[in-house]
Amino acid sequence: MATHHAGALVALNPRDGKVLALHSIAGSRGDPLVTLHQPGSTFKVFSAIAALEAGTIDADTTLTCNQSYPFGELTLTCPLAHGPEDVSKALAVSCNSFFYALAEKQGPKPLHAVASAFGLGEPSGIAPDEPAGVLRDPVPDPARPALDLADAIGHGAYYTNLLGLARAYAAIANGGTLPTLHLSGGATPATRRVPYADTTLALVRAALVDAVEKDYGRSYAQRIGGYVFAGKTGGVDAPGPDGSPSDTLMDSWFVAFAPPAHPTLLVAARLESVPHAGPVNAAAVVREVLLGARALAQR
């Protein structure tokens, strides 16, 4: 991990939550392993699950992204005009507009239920004095009419840390069992099932593979030849010197797991205050770990 950026990384076995590696470089905002932050686009998987399980959409529902999304007096944006897309492609390209539309249609309650089921409002179980994640009160806020839409892309009132996000993604990776993160030795802590259809979780896993393996995928640049993995990016504007969002720096997230069909490794990383455009980001850090895992597997 680049020593000139605060950040953290966790590697674990998603089948049982056993932590294989932890690394953290603290910065001015505390320990990046446990401090709570907006998760950015990594949160879109939970928005997708919420919409599919609530019946807001099905796997074949197609919406069109025109790069801008009008909402009342506001115009929200997406990095690209993705055109017609279903939920799988929206996840793979990390479209904002698709998830704005879902949030506007269904309101805040389905997303809150999913975030709660995936343990994002509780500690992961491994770090002493680890704070619980923050789940937004699922009541519409007239003072913040666009909050539901911001929540849907991880830029709203939901806050998690790297450990909590890794734990939640482990449940997606392993087919629906939410583990308690733990170190080696002793009995395996209790787990619980998330109450969602296997088909829903399988769709999300496949979409995250497409995010890496398809040439239109958001993480296509991180693909590793001969080593298929699933991955999801996230980025949130970092605070500037005065505390307001920076125009040039972001907090970068990335979660990956491999092999996608029967994953034995999940790696999540978060880097603070890295340039919006550039080679230093959480995805590049995770890719280095996966390259090491591939090398070990080939011995």
pLDDT digit string, tens, across residues 24-51: 998 888 888 999 999 999 999 999 999 9
Cβ atoms 65, 193 nearer than 8 A: no
For 95, 164, 203, 295, the CA distances from 48, given in Å and listed in that order, are 12, 18, 10, 34
Contact partners, residue 269, CB within 8 Å, separation at least 6 = 1, 7, 8, 9, 10, 162, 253, 254, 282, 283, 285, 286, 289
- Of the listed ranges 1-10, 48-57, 284-293, the least confidently predicted one is 1-10
Which pLDDT score is estimated for 248?
87
Q: How far apart are CA 93 and CA 30, in angstroms?
A: 32
3-state secondary structure of 192: strand
Which pLDDT score is estimated for 1?
46
Tens of pLDDT, residues 162-210: 999 999 999 999 999 999 999 877 677 888 999 999 999 999 999 999 9
Look at residues 70, 97, 71, 75 and name the one whose alpha carbon lies nearest to residue 84: 97
pTM confidence score: 0.96
Q: What is the DSSP letter of 54?
A: H
Cβ atoms 123, 131 nearer than 8 A: yes
Domain boundaries, the chain: 7-297
Measured from the Cβ of residue 247, the count of other Cβ atoms closer than 10 Å reads: 9
Q: How far apart are CA 299 and CA 285, in angstroms?
A: 22
CATH code of the domain occupying 7-297: 3.40.710.10
Peptide bond into 259 cis (omega under 30): yes
Q: How confident is the model at residue 4 (pLDDT cuts 50, 70, 90)?
A: low
Q: What is the DSSP letter of 240?
A: -
Which pLDDT score is estimated for 3?
46
Q: How far apart are CA 40 and CA 47, in angstroms?
A: 12
Tens of pLDDT, residues 56-112: 999 999 999 999 999 999 999 999 999 999 999 999 999 999 999 999 999 999 999
Task: At 102, list the tokens.
Answer: 């879902």
**What are the beta bridge partners of residue 21?**
11
3-state secondary structure of 25: strand
Q: What is the pairing mode between strands 83-85 and 63-65?
A: antiparallel
Helices (H), 31-154: 44-54, 87-93, 97-106, 109-117, 147-152
